[in-house]
């Protein structure tokens, strides 16, 4: 049992590392930078100071090494979107709302899944079973997508920490 637990923990760490690495390098392959996303035309010296402050003037491999070292210590850095605020502070403030929405979607999805799972079991051997199974799967999986997306769209203007989605653009 201990061997299995250690194996699962190692897989978890490996998966987290792969996802973090992929996300980091994918974000660096997007055109533009955080400054161009703000849509402001700034003097060249201001841009250089900004890049030096956030380490964007260093090679990507150096940025990644610094990011990993800081992330292992729980420091996710300063927010580009909210100057003067740490990323972990923003996460701490928004996580309860995300957790609540996710929990509600999960309860509704599980309820739909159980109801249609029971109906499918009662209709074993009949053609209606496939129908109930499809509705149950759809109800279970779609609720998270629906609630997450619709609540984000509905409340992003009311909650100041949730911003509109933008892609960084080069000038």
How many residues in the chain? Answer: 171
pLDDT at 64 over 70: yes
pLDDT for the residue numbered 7? 94
pLDDT tens digits along 9-62: 999 999 999 999 999 888 888 777 666 666 567 777 887 887 888 788 888 889
- Regarding predicted confidence, which is higher, 12 or 104? 12
Contacts of 48 (CB under 8 A, 6+ apart): 57
Mean pLDDT for 83-102 is 84
| pLDDT band, residue 78 (cuts 50/70/90) | confident
Mean pLDDT for 94-114 is 82
The rounded distance, in Å, linking the Cα atoms of 169 and 90 is 24
Residue 85 structure tokens: 């605020």
Residue 160 structure tokens: 């100041």
pLDDT at 100 over 70: yes
pLDDT for the residue numbered 167? 43
């Amino acid at each position: 049992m201990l061997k299995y637990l250690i194996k699962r923990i190692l897989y978890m760490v490996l998966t987290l590392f792969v996802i973090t690495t992929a996300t980091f390098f994918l974000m660096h392959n997007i055109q533009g930078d955080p400054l161009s996303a703000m849509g402001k035309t700034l003097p060249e010296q201001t841009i250089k100071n900004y890049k030096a402050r956030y380490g964007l003037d260093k090679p990507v491999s150096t940025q990644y090494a610094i990011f990993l070292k800081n992330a292992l210590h729980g420091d996710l850095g300063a927010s580009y979107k909210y100057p003067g605020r740490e990323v972990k502070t923003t996460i701490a403030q928004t996580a309860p709302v995300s957790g609540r929405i996710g929990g509600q979607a999960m309860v509704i999805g599980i309820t739909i899944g159980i109801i249609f799972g029971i109906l499918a079991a009662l209709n074993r051997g009949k053609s209606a079973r496939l129908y109930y199974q499809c509705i149950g799967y759809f109800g279970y999986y779609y609720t998270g997508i629906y609630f997450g997306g619709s609540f984000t769209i509905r409340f992003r203007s009311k909650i100041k920490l949730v911003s509109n989605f933008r892609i960084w653009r080069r000038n």
